[in-house]
Each structure stands twice: as C-alpha cells, then as structure tokens.
C-alpha cells in the first residue's frame, strides 16, 4: 500500500542541499506502486515530479506543489549477445554502482561516466556525458510510463532523439513520460574509450599506453575528485549540482561574432562538431568573463576547483543560487554575447 507523506523536506534529498518541501511525497519501489501513485495524483488533479538522486535539480525555497515520486525501482537483467551484452536496468538503480559493476564484469561503454551521481532513469533524459562519452552511444531502448495515457511505451535510441545534453524526453515532451527502465548495449572486454585529452595526458604521465577498463575508471574518479566533482560530505565544494551550465554550441555566424569578442585572449578551447557548429567551454567563458574559481556572493559561489560548479555554502537558499547563476549568465552574455543555459532543472517558483 502506498505511503503518501505530506510536507516532506526536499533540500536534504538533493546534492545542492537547498529548497523547501514537497506538498506530497511517495517512495516507489515497484512498478504497480508507480501506477497507483499516478492514479492518486490524477484523482486530485496534482502535478507529478520524479526525484532520482537529486543531483540535477534546484528546489525553490517555497517548495513544490503536487506529488513528488522518489523513483526507487531496482533490478538489472543481463543478456549475452556474442561480443555484446544487453543490460536492462531499472530506473532507480544508483548510476555509479551500475557503472562500477559493468566495469568489473569487463563490459565496455560506460567507463568514462564513472563518478556521476544520480540514478539510471535520469541518464537518457539529459543524455548524460563526460570525458568523451555519452549514454546515447550505448542506450538501445528506453521504457517509460506515459502519464497522460497511463501506458508503458518503449522508445528506440533513434526515437529518443539524443543530442548534446538533450533528448526527446527533455525538450519535446518534458514531464509527460516517467522512465522506468533503460537498456544498454555494451561490449565484452573491448578497449576503453580513451579519446579525451585530459585522460590521455593522465595516462601519458603514468606511462600506461593501453589502460584497462578499471584503470580508466579509476583515472576518471581521480580527475573528478580533484575537481570536487564527486559526492563527498567533507569537501567544502561538495554541495553542488556538478556542472551548472551546459557547454554552449554555436553556429557559424555566432561563432564568428564570438571570435571577434574573444580576440587577444589566446588558448581558446573550441571543439568543432560534426554538423559544422563549434562547442565552447562554459567554464572558460565564466572565468574569462570575470568570475574566477572561488568567486563568492554571500552563501553561494563558484567551486575553488572548477568554475563550472556553483556551490551552496552554509546558510544558502535556492534564491541565492538562482540569483548568483543569473549574475554569471549576465556576465558571460555581456562579455561574449553567449548565453549559458543551466543544466539542472528548477522546481517550483
């Protein structure tokens, strides 16, 4: 039987640690409970939000109306297909535990995504990526519950319309579908994906020409730790959403205008894309716009180790986070003519 709670604090359930209460809250551990929770909310005309690991949301100080569902479906099914293996993973599985288990089994395809907080169900929505790898490369299908029709639907990778930090679920039908299961297609004992310059330099310094999957995972964890991008309660930079802004991707004309504004700065990080656009480093833009690492405004500031992470210090509120993020956005826009888009989702007013 569902246990619906009222006025449940959401801040402690997020990595940023700010925000008010959920009007109603329920933890869902079985598929039938998910359907029951949606029916309960529908009968009361309540909006529904899904909470995973809380690593990609900013909850308003006033809280959020409606029903918040804590997605806790668990389970992993493995099927071998020759040189490949398919893993059907429930949405509530902790992401990094799943990645660690895959690496330990010699399954290649997720190793560069080590150390990312959250749960499996959130990864296709954002098309999670890091260190030269994205989940779009290995997702074969996504199963989701349609909150309008109350039916399960299965989406192929093509139907998910994955793009850089985006998907059909995020930009086309936001909030309509609740991911219940994600299927990944990984390779048995294939070489790890070593195609990110920072990782390549790490192994050059280590004298390792052909790292194993486990060695690459450990390298990613080390790099993330050095940037305070791992969950660590003892880290003064620890209360964050990780990367707060998406690296902007510019078309040819906008990139040309940007180069004019950036003239003379030198060492400009730029990453040409297959469609002719160019991706820039949001962290670089932030620092060059006058916000060095460690910049602080009251109880909120930038990480001392990574300009892309906004940190909530003791006493911070969601309004402080929102105000500081807007200040950074304005600074980058005025300096370079580039608008930074937040990566986390804002809940409530």
Residues annotated catalytic, as ranges: 165, 243, 343
Could you say which DSSP state residue 247 is in?
A: P
Establish how many alpha carbons lie within 13 A of residue 18's alpha carbon, considering only the half-sphere containing its beta carbon: 29
Neighbours of 44 (CB within 10 A): 10
Q: How many angstroms from the chain centroid is the CA of residue 330?
A: 23
Cβ–Cβ under 8 Å, residues 26 and 3: yes
How many CB atoms within 10 Å of residue 4? Answer: 15
Burial 306-332 (b: 16+ CB within 10 A, else e): bbbbbbbeeebbbebbbebbeebbebb
3-class DSSP assignment, residue 32: helix
CA 112, CA 193: separation in Å to the nearest integer?
Answer: 7
State how far the Cα of 57 lies from the Cα of 292, in Å rounded to an integer: 24
Sole residue written with tokens 């089994």: 105
Strand-pairing partners, residue 142, are 155, 182
Q: How far apart are CA 81 and CA 156, in angstroms?
A: 18
CA atoms of 52 and 166, how far apart (whole Å) = 18
Euclidean distance between CA atoms 178 and 200, whole angstroms: 37
Whole-angstrom Cα distance, residue 321 to residue 329? Answer: 12
Residue 340 to residue 337: CA distance in whole angstroms:
10
């Amino acid at each position: 039987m569902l246990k619906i709670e009222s006025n449940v604090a959401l801040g402690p359930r997020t990595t940023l640690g700010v925000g008010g209460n959920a009007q109603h809250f329920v933890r869902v551990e079985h598929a039938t409970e998910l359907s029951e929770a949606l029916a309960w909310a529908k009968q009361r005309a309540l909006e529904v939000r899904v909470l995973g690991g809380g690593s990609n949301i900013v909850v308003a100080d006033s809280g959020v109306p409606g029903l918040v569902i804590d997605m806790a479906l668990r389970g992993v099914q493995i099927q071998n297909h020759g040189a490949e293996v398919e893993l059907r993973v429930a949405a509530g599985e902790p992401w990094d535990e799943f990645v660690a288990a895959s690496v330990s089994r010699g399954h290649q395809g997720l190793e560069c995504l080590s150390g990312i907080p959250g749960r499996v169900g959130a990864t296709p929505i954002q098309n999670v990526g890091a260190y030269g790898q994205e989940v779009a490369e290995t997702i074969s299908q996504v199963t989701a519950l349609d909150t309008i029709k109350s039916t399960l639907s299965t989406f192929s990778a093509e139907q998910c319309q994955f793009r850089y930090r985006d998907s059909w679920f995020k930009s086309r039908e936001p909030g309509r579908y609740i991911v219940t299961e994600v299927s990944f297609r990984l390779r048995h004992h294939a070489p790890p994906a070593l195609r990110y310059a920072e990782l390549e330099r790490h192994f050059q310094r280590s004298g390792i020409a052909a790292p194993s999957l486990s060695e690459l995972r450990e390298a990613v964890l080390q790099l993330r730790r050095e940037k305070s991008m791992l969950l660590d309660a003892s880290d003064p930079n620890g209360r964050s959403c990780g990367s707060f802004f998406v690296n902007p991707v510019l078309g040819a004309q906008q990139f040309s205008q940007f180069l004019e504004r950036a003239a003379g700065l030198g060492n400009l990080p730029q990453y040409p894309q297959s469609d002719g656009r160019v991706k820039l480093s949001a962290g670089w833009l932030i620092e060059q716009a006058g916000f060095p690492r460690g910049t602080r405004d009251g109880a909120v500031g930038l990480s001392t180790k990574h300009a892309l992470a906004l940190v909530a210090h003791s006493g911070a509120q969601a309004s402080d986070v929102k105000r500081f993020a807007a200040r950074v956005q304005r600074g980058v826009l005025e300096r370079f003519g580039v608008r930074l888009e937040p990566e986390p989702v804002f809940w409530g007013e």
